[in-house]
Amino acid sequence: MKKILVLTGGGDCPGLNAVIRGIAKAARTNGNWEVWGSIEAFNGILKDGPEIIKLTRRYTAGIHVKGGTIIKTTNRGNPLEFPTPQPDGSIKLVNRTDELISKIKAQNFDAVINIGGDGSQAISQALFEKGLNIIGVPKTIDNDLSATDLTFGFSTAVQTATESLDRLVSTAESHHRTLIMEVMGRDAGWIALHTAIAGGAEICLIPEIPFKIESVLKRINSRYKKGRGFVNIVIAEGAKPIDGEVMGEKSKDAGDPHIKLAGIANYLRSQLEKRGCQAQIRTTVLGHTQRGGTPIAFDRILATSMGVKAFEMVEAGAFGKMVAYKNNKMASVFIKKAISEYNVVSQDHYLLNTARQLGISFGE
Ligand code: F6P
């Protein structure tokens, strides 16, 4: 029997378990492969006395409906910069890739499937360049990977955000309030844009279009001019005012390079109030509710198909490549190419036009 090692890295995302099950089932159908999972990304295999489990039917049956990942994940396990405590109590980032590859080989793994976002796929590329047989599967609710038309988890996040907006609209209407809802997406406005259109927001603020607070205020005032109005604003966590910066702080976790984006909804509220906005304003930050829970049917299907495709790529020896969903087909792209370009909302994207035709303001 040949052996595949599967791992999930970075933030969790609806559909991770469906990918794992897709890989395990395709391997079972094939009959010549065993599938193993490394617990908490590469940390499982790096541990002395590795924490790896054989993904038998007992572990994978029915997991496609479950949120999270049965093999756990971490954003503190980059083998290129592994956070390692020093005798003086400080943390040093150590390159453990050689050790990792020899441990994978010592366990007789023939291939590795790394399910993760851009950071995880940059690790895949580095390991591939060192000779590891590795395949990537793209994961992120942010939908910010350019090589694939969609990532699984994104549609579920949009569904969750839209359902939340629907609930907030009730309060906005009943109280004549202005409600600001902050959604995830990092530097991409996809979740905000889709949610604003699906939920019928009046204002949508995204990282790709820096906003003017005065323009937002003007739009709010115009909604209240004719008497009792209400306004729903969807704001992406990475949105910023035209003369300001993104709101967030550096992660406190050693080995996590990301800025933790947060606070723009409350900042906008305080700026509007400072400028004399008469409407009662309330803010809601959806946060990790967008990443949790069961994936919607579309994401289960996308994630399962990506898992099956990843297994087929292992069989075909298509290493150094990542699964992609392109033009309604399962495809593969070089990981190097996949991580070279970021997918943000382009100024000529049709959804910007759709939104503008609906009268949604981007605070320009
Ligand atoms: O990349 C996915 C994502 O959920 C972003 O939308 C968000 O900025 C970030 O991860 C949050 O990360 P963490 O769970 O580490 O706070």
118: Cβ below 6 Å to ligand 1? no
Please say whether the beta carbons of 71 and 53 come within 8 A: yes
In this prediction, residue 226 carries a pLDDT of 78
- For ligand 1, whether the C-beta of 185 sits within 6 Å is yes
Task: Pick the catalytic residue from 12, 118, 142, 187.
Answer: 142
Tell whether 131 and 234 lie within a shared domain.
no
Query: Based on the domain organization, do 281 and 300 belong to the same domain?
Result: no
Whether residue 73 sits in one domain with residue 45? yes
The answer on 75 and 116 residing in a single domain is yes
CATH code of residue 25: 3.40.50.450
Q: Which of 72, 235, 291, 342 to mutate to test the pocket of ligand 1 (most atoms within 8 A of CB)?
A: 291
Indicate the residue among 229, 257, 291 that finishes a domain.
291
Q: Is residue 349 part of a domain?
A: no
Residue 17: per-residue pLDDT: 98
Total domains in the fold of the chain: 2
Distance from Cα 142 to the centre of ligand 1, integer Å: 9
Same-domain check for residues 148 and 6: yes
Parts of the chain with a pLDDT under 70: none
Domain identity same for 197 and 278? yes
What is the CA(3)–ligand 1 centre distance, in A?
32
Q: Whose CA is nearest to atom 13 of ligand 1?
A: 11
Cα(266) to ligand 1 centroid in Å equals 18
- Ligand 1 atom nearest 251 alpha carbon: 15
* 142 included as an active-site residue: yes
State whether 76 and 111 are in the same domain: yes
Q: Which atom of ligand 1 is nearest to the CA of 75?
A: 15
Separation of CA 214 and ligand 1 centre (Å): 29
Co-location of 42 and 132 in the same domain: yes
231: CATH: 3.40.50.460
Q: Is 139 in the pocket of ligand 1 (CB under 6 A)?
A: no
* CA–CA gap between residue 238 and residue 230 (Å, rounded): 24
Enumerate residues 6+ apart whose C-beta is below 8 A from 259. Answer: 246, 248, 249, 250, 251
> Domain of 88?
2-152+295-338
Atom of ligand 1 nearest to the CA of 256: 15
Q: What is the pLDDT of residues 6-59, one digit of tens each?
A: 999 999 999 999 999 999 999 999 999 999 999 999 999 999 999 999 999 999
User: Is residue 162, in this structure, part of any structural domain at all?
Assistant: yes
345 occurs within a structural domain: no
Would 350 be classed as within a structural domain? Answer: no
**Closest ligand 1 atom to Cα of 191:** 6
Do 299 and 285 share a domain, yes or no? Answer: no
Return d(Cα 65, Cα 232) in angstroms, integer.
32
Max CA separation in the chain (angstroms): 73
Name the token pair of 57: 């039917």
Q: Are residues 109 and 17 in the same domain?
A: yes
Pairing mode of beta strands 33-38, 111-116: unpaired
Domain membership of residue 358 (yes or no) is no
Q: Does 173 lie in the same domain as 95?
A: no
pTM of the predicted model over 0.85 = yes
| Rounded Cα distance, 113 and 5, in Å | 6
187-234 pLDDT, tens per residue? 999 999 999 999 999 999 999 999 999 999 999 999 998 778 999 999
